[in-house]
Structure 1
């Protein structure tokens, strides 16, 4: 099975969708957005009768794992740079809308600026994060059903 149909089948079988990518221009890379646009297709991922708590992806979880081009301080200096705010169109507008439970993201800030020891520490933190998935509390969004 190839192409979009093969990707749809992978999503159909998955309990957890983990997206690992670098933040580019305060969003996901275009190739990933294109994948979502094709795979999260009308009738499979959403339709006019199913959204949020009634979404077609109920029972699935989504997790974003990100890298940034700069250290954490850059994002902490201004509220408009808060990555939870930046990621809301993905968390809320894609995953929650389709009915998924959205887990808090794992963010590795500025790996290109890290020392080798910091990289090892970050990889260890990522490993630990993945091992504790069952303990993570999903993000909550306020919305009214459509």
Structure 2
């Protein structure tokens, strides 16, 4: 009986500590300089916009190809890793979502899908990203 009680308490603590992953516990966000669904680096200035949006929220945001602070360089688990994914479906609409993972590649947060039907590609992508960031 004691073994079952101790085991259940231990499992509860492990699950609670896992569930308390909070993006506010991180100081840094690392953003790729090129998203997989686009051709070329910083296409439509989406990567730069992602960086600006995270900086507005108080994070130190860096591109994956630039020099990182020494503490982050030594311990990659001090940062979250953001990526933007294109959601398929929707005629003449761009749908994007932000995916945030930890250093082990585990999903920490997935945003709502932001969408835009703007006619200009650059504006449409930026508008969808900004909506997803809310």
TM-score range, shorter chain: under 0.3
The structure number with the bigger radius of gyration is 2
Bigger helix share: 1
TM-score, normalised relative to structure 1: 0.26
TM-score, normalised relative to structure 2: 0.28
Larger RCO (CA within 8 A; separation ≥ 6):
1
Bigger strand share: 2
